[in-house]
């Protein structure tokens, strides 16, 4: 995607990044539409001949421009809130391509999703199942539901993004799911005929997927034998991407799909996929300028104009992101602590990282920020949200304007209208 001949400017999907930063300022999120399309195509190619639906995990990147691109490629949406439902619908995603996951769906959210007629609810607790039945009954509709299985598998990823262990809040055990199906006849307005599993995120080995799928497959066969037809199996997301060149070795989409096919051999219903990071992670870079170099007593700090409010992953998960200069000039390597301007020590993108010597004003890019970057940003330290831009074969389109101070404080007001509740 990048080409960096000596002292030439680096391009992203054919767009000169220096020129882009000059025009739109920094920090700036830049997403390659070609890269996203290629990722969708590699999954779709691997899935050719299989009845399937890819539902993009909206939480990974909820920008309306990104969702519109997904929709254009016939990708649906995996949502976890009424806000994500709203975004998906407004991007044009039809309700019959939307699935709803999450442990805390409220009554209002369930009612809204039912009203618009989404494809399926991934139900995560018995309480939620009963609520779904109640709301569907009140609306006089039948809700399609899958039970989210917690297979008690270690996804071998960061603890904060592991979701498939028994100790995690997600899904229910196979024992509990078995009881739901046994009592299926009591659900007059819920069509419980799906299974769902999602064991975690940034998974770089096939083994956890294999274990989880084997457990789900065994349960599916048992259910069918007992006369409970299963119309869809949703295998979640979780495919990892490369954050560190030469270190992270992501799973190939074709190998992953082959594994799913093998584990679920004989399944004739529909396969649902909920990739987030895989589709958008590597498509995004964050352009940021060096504000200054600061020589501390013990370390050399490179202070950037991007901070933890723009990209939270390093401070939240100690996540590694490769950081490279946007120019191919040869310079001596220096070891820096790369930090942002926010007033917290945790506002650190990298510690003791070797980088070609930098000067104030230099443009750098933080790589692999297309997933869980802008969607997790905040205005902490009253730093307006960064702009986001889509690039596509030499052209660009702003998909989020840089927030103004007025936008940032919209809705806030002094407490001068006192009322009693």
Residue numbers in the known binding site for substrate are: 277, 313, 317, 344, 372
The interface mask with ligand LLP, positions 30-49, x = CB under 6 A, is: --------------------
Buried b (16+ CB within 10 A) or exposed e, 278-311: bbbbbbbbbbbbbbebeeeeeeeebbbbbbbbbb
Q: Is 398 exposed, middle or buried (0-12, 13-18, 19+ CB in 10 A)?
A: middle
CA–CA distance, 106 with 109 (Å, rounded to integer):
5
Cβ 84 to ligand LLP shortest distance, Å: 11
Of residues 106, 145, 31, the one with CA closest to residue 85: 106
CB closer to ligand LLP, 243 vs 396: 243
The secondary structure element, H or E, covering residue 327 is: none
Distance CA 270, CA 27 (A): 42
Site string for ligand LLP, 346-385 (x = CB under 6 A): -------------------------xx-------------
Based on the shown chain and the rule CB under 6 A, indicate whether residue 201 belongs to the binding site for ligand LLP.
yes
Restricted to residues 217-256, the positions that interact with ligand LLP (CB under 6 A) are 236-239
How would you write 336-385 as a 3-class SS string?
A: EEEECCCCCCCCEEEEEEEEECCCCCCEEEEECCCCCCHHHCCCHHHCCC
Which position among 60, 79, 135, 303 is part of the footprint of ligand LLP (CB under 6 A)? 60
Site for ligand LLP in 295-314 (CB under 6 A): 313
416: enclosing H helix or E strand? none
Q: Binding to ligand LLP by residue 325, rule CB under 6 A?
A: no
Binding site, annotated residues:
238, 274-277, 313, 317, 344, 372
Contact between 291 and ligand LLP per CB under 6 A: no
- Is residue 358 annotated as a catalytic residue, yes or no? no
Measured CA distances, 75 to 69, 113, 313 (Å): 9, 18, 26
Q: Give me the least distance between CB of 420 and ligand LLP, in Å please.
A: 41
Distances in Å between the alpha carbon of 410 and those of 27, 376, 388? 21, 19, 20
276 binds ligand LLP (CB under 6 A): yes
Closer to ligand LLP by Cβ: residue 65 or 237 = 237
Residue 14 tokens read as 């054919």
Structure letter (DSSP) for residue 54: E
Local structure of 214: helix, strand or coil: helix
Is 101 a residue that touches ligand LLP (CB under 6 A)?
yes
Among 215, 277, 383, 400, binds ligand LLP (CB under 6 A): 277
Q: Which of residues 137-176 bind ligand LLP (CB under 6 A)?
A: 161
Among 57, 58, 89, 307, binds ligand LLP (CB under 6 A): 57
Among 11, 32, 133, 202, binds ligand LLP (CB under 6 A): 202
Span interacting with ligand LLP, options 8-16, 268-276, 324-332, 357-365, rule CB under 6 A: 268-276
Interacting residues with ligand LLP (CB under 6 A): 57, 60, 78, 101, 161, 198, 201-202, 236-239, 274-278, 313, 317, 371-372
Active site residues: 343
């Amino acid at each position: 995607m990048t080409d960096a001949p000596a002292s030439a400017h680096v391009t992203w999907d054919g767009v000169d990044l220096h020129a882009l930063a000059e025009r739109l300022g920094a920090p700036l999120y830049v997403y390659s539409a070609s890269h996203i399309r290629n990722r969708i195509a590699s999954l779709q190619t691997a899935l050719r001949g299989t009845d399937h639906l890819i539902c993009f995990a909206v939480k990974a990147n909820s920008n309306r421009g990104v969702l519109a691109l997904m929709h254009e490629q016939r990708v649906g949406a995996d949502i976890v809130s009424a806000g994500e439902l709203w975004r998906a619908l407004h991007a044009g995603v039809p309700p019959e391509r939307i699935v709803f996951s999450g442990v805390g769906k409220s009554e209002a959210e369930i009612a809204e999703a039912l009203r618009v007629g989404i494809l399926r609810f991934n139900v995560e607790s018995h309480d939620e199942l009963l609520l779904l039945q109640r709301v569907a009954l009140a609306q006089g509709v039948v809700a399609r539901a899958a039970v989210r299985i917690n297979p008690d598998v270690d996804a071998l990823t960061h603890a904060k993004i592991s979701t498939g262990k028994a100790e995690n809040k997600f899904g229910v055990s196979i024992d509990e799911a078995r009881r739901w199906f046994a009592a299926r006849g009591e659900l007059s307005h819920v069509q419980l005929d799906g299974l769902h599993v999602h064991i975690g995120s940034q998974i770089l080995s096939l083994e956890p997927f294999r274990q989880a799928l084997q457990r789900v497959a065994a349960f599916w066969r048992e259910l069918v034998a007992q006369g409970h037809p299963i119309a869809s199996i949703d295998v979640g997301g979780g495919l990892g991407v490369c954050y560190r060149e030469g270190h992270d070795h992501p799973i190939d989409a074709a190998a992953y799909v082959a594994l799913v096919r093998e584990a679920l051999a004989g399944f004739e219903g529909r396969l649902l996929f909920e990739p987030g990071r895989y589709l958008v992670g590597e498509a995004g870079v964050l352009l940021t300028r060096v504000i200054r170099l600061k020589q501390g007593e013990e370390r050399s700090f490179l202070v950037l104009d991007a901070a933890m409010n723009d990209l939270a992953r390093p401070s939240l998960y100690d996540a590694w992101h490769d950081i490279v200069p946007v120019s191919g000039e040869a310079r001596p390597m220096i070891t820096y602590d790369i930090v942002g301007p926010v007033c917290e020590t945790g506002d650190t993108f990298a510690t003791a990282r070797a980088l070609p010597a930098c000067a104030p004003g230099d443009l750098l890019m933080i790589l692999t920020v297309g997933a869980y970057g802008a969607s997790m940003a905040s205005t902490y330290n009253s730093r307006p949200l960064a702009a986001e831009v889509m690039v596509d074969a030499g052209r660009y389109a702003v998909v989020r304007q840089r927030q103004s101070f007025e936008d940032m404080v919209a809705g806030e007001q002094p407490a001068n209208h006192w009322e009693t509740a």
